[in-house]
Structure 1
Amino acid sequence: MQHMKIEIQNPQVEVRNGTGRDQRPFQIRRQVAYAHLAGLAYPVMMRLQLEDSNQGFQPGMYELDESSFYVGKYGELAISRSVRLRPVSVKA
């Protein structure tokens, strides 16, 4: 089974701060990544939203972890807003 490959080229994390409707402060942390999608000749730029405990991914190739998927309240397959990646193991 082939997993979706995600490439990180730059460890920089974008941080946005704001105040919600309830007047509580919030912070959104994102990192630029590139998705290698089947059928496309080149990777597609995307932004990953990072969990609070994630300081950002180091440059390298990753796979989208299965824990990033869930079944929504209407039974549809969905992807978590804060995805989890695992490093691609390099074969000798």
Structure 2
Amino acid sequence: MERRLYNALVLNGYCVQTQVKCGPYRIDLVIGKLAIECDGKASHSFPSQKAHDRKKDAYLRKQGYKVVRISGNSIVNRMPQVLKRVKTRLN
């Protein structure tokens, strides 16, 4: 899922870093100060994981990142909309 989004972003001209360490966390994909988290349904639907994600997002925002979470379903089925969302968040 991450690889699919990474490839699409690179093909659209973005300079993307993968698995960027930020404090106690790793960010799936980074473009400038945009942190992109790819969320698979299986591991991100549990309440404990959602709480962890909120804590991580808050930490990343404090470090100056804009955070966008993208579902695996969106990456697989709606890539044009995902790319538009990333472009919007970068502006």
TM bucket (normalised to shorter chain) is under 0.3
Q: Bigger radius of gyration, 1 or 2?
A: 1
Name whichever structure is richer in helix by fraction.
2
TM-score (norm 1): 0.23
TM-score (norm 2): 0.24
